[in-house]
Amino acid sequence: MTDFAGDRSVWDAVRGHDAVVDGFRRAVGRGRLSSALLLAGPAGVGKRLFADTLAKCLLCLRTPDDLLEACGTCKACVSAAADTHPDLHRVRLPEGKREIPLAAFVGDKEDRGSSGLCYELSRRPALSERRVAIVEDADLVNPQAANAFLKTLEEPPAGAVLMLLSDRPESLLPTIRSRCQTVRFGPLPEADVAALLLDQGLAESPAEADQVARLSRGSLDAAARLADPEVRGLREVVRKHVGRGGPVAAAKAVVGAVEAAGSDAPSQRAAAAWVFAFCADLYRDRLAGLSEDFSSDVPGISDRLEHAAAALDRLSEAEAQIARNTSVPPVIEALVCDLNRG
């Protein structure tokens, strides 16, 4: 990646997405940067870090546009790093809320039209030559707010760059998606996840980092949760008991681990989600291994393939039950009993 003035690039912290960075550098150099961007991909792969870094580059007062870099020392860079830049605007899910409300875009009833993101973007830049907006969790914007924001996307103010971040872009209004350039972010390479775990002190050794990274499916968020001792303990219980030993004893062990996560429903539902994920990994690994060894001359291999596939289907059923707010322990008990009877 290109260094700025012989120093480290501001993009060095953005791992696993060099091709995306290079594409943006070419677009900016040609004056073809879209004013509305949808950064789409799984949680924990670096979309927010990418958006923050791009915003710093676009707002920097020293570096030419075609470099797509940030000096890190000018007033714009310092204030952007502190999240106090007057031309950098963010919309986030309010604490304790399930969706981003209309007021975030057009202001409260008392000052509607004279505050909120749409108003801020309509004003002249105060420090830099652009205004930049980052809408985090864009798939949680409620329909009324999305429709209000649509006009800004259709006719963005001159010099404004809008970035929408989404883990589930398919849940956005089609009219929103159609007015944005979608930029896809794939899972991070395992080596990058492992390195980040070590850098952030979330793994005690390279071997542990490698193991967690393999299970993370390219998500640093997932890796950080997997590095938690309680989650690791739950995984060990699943690996030790699911598909091994008597159904009743195995079910008792796994249910006990889930209940140890907490007596409240949210804690148990979170633990159940990990049980499902660990069971799915277990049976996918078995499917992969069996498929590689598949031969008509190996007795029982077809039956074991069928059993592993059926186990994954049973997991889907259990996940659907939890999604319907069914009590967690009975669902886990029945699931493990069924898996261990196979």
What distance in Å separates the CA atoms of residue 77 and residue 61, rounded to the nearest whole number? Answer: 8
**How many other β-carbons are positioned within 10 Å of the β-carbon of residue 229?**
7
What values do phi and psi take at 314, rounded to 5? -65, -35
- What secondary structure, in 3-state letters, does 271-293 show? HHHHHHHHHHHHHHHHHHHHHHC
> Exposed, middle or buried by CB within 10 Å (0-12, 13-18, 19+), for 292?
exposed
Radius of gyration of the chain (CA): 24
pLDDT tens-digit map of 153-209: 999 999 999 999 999 999 999 999 999 999 999 999 999 999 999 999 998 899 989
What distance in Å separates the CA atoms of residue 261 and residue 333, rounded to the nearest whole number? Answer: 16
DSSP states of 219-250: -HHHHHHHTSHHHHHHHHHHHHHTTSS-HHHH
Angle formed by the axes of helices 301-323 and 265-292, to 10°? 160
pLDDT tens-digit map of 44-84: 999 999 999 999 999 999 999 889 999 999 999 999 999 99
> Exposed, middle or buried by CB within 10 Å (0-12, 13-18, 19+), for 267?
middle
* Distance in angstroms between the alpha carbons of the first and the last residue of the chain: 52
Look at residue 302 in the predicted model and tell me its pLDDT: 65
318 close to 335: Cβ distance less than 8 angstroms: yes
pLDDT at 86 over 80: yes
**How many other β-carbons are positioned within 10 Å of the β-carbon of residue 331?**
24
pTM over 0.85: no
What values do phi and psi take at 76, rounded to 5? -65, -45
Averaged confidence pLDDT in the chain: 91
